[in-house]
Structure 1
Amino acid sequence: MRQMYGFTVALTVLLLLSACGQKIDDTVLQSSISTPADGEAVALYKKQCMSCHATDLSGRVGPSLQEIGSRLTEEQLIMIIQEGEKGMPSYKNRLEQEEIEGLAQWLAKMK
């Protein structure tokens, strides 16, 4: 039983480290900051979204967000972030409403 626990812990750590191994070149993210609110949204993106949508918003597990503002409105983005969609989890219990709105507002500028 103890060996199984140790194996499970080791496997979990290995998976977490491999997910975090992405080299962070956040040139795209930094160039998208034009207001203090954008800076807050970028920081939130890095913390909550980057692992699935990549440092350049090109997509990894999740879809590309590079031109998401051309396809979806800010209101649609808010709804998707809050409720989740197609494999994306809901963030309504993880983020404050202001954070969701700020992130959606920033993403809506991606055209």
Structure 2
Amino acid sequence: MKKGITALFLGMIFVLGACGNADDTNTSENLEAGEEVYRNNCAACHGADLSGNGAPELTDIGSKYSQEQIEDIVQEGIGSMPPQTQVEGADLEELASWLSEQ
């Protein structure tokens, strides 16, 4: 009896594991490059959903600033936000491009 229950349990684990969603949009492989940079560098202060989380919200940042202006803000800081020196090069361009579309 115990062998049957164990086999059933292991079979269920196998079947349920095979039903996993490989297209999960929350994995970093499926994020746009700029969104991934945002999540890794900006989301802690500005919120994963751009809602602010204690810092200014960025939900409509693209209607306020151009991509170039966003790059300048990230590099130089603005208000109480210090310069984000760890974001540079292609990451900075991808981040600013993604944010300018928000």
Hey, what's the Cα distance between the residues in 2 that align with 1:97 and 1:61?
Answer: 27
1:47-66 aligned within 5 A: 47-66=40-59
TM-score, normalisation: structure 1: 0.61
The structure, 1 or 2, with the larger RCO (C-alpha pairs under 8 Å, 6+ apart) is: 2
Q: Which residue identity does 2:89 align to in structure 1?
A: Q
Sequence identity, in percent? 36
Hey, what's the Cα distance between the residues in 1 that align with 2:101 and 2:38?
Answer: 14
Unaligned runs of 5+ in 1: 1-29, 31-35
Unaligned runs of 5+ in 2: 1-24
Instruction: State the match for 2:34 in structure 1.
Output: 41
Partner residue of 1:102 out of 91, 94, 101? 94
Hey, what's the Cα distance between the residues in 1 that align with 2:89 and 2:54?
Answer: 25
Q: Which has the larger radius of gyration?
A: 2
Aligned length: 75
TM-score, normalisation: structure 2: 0.66
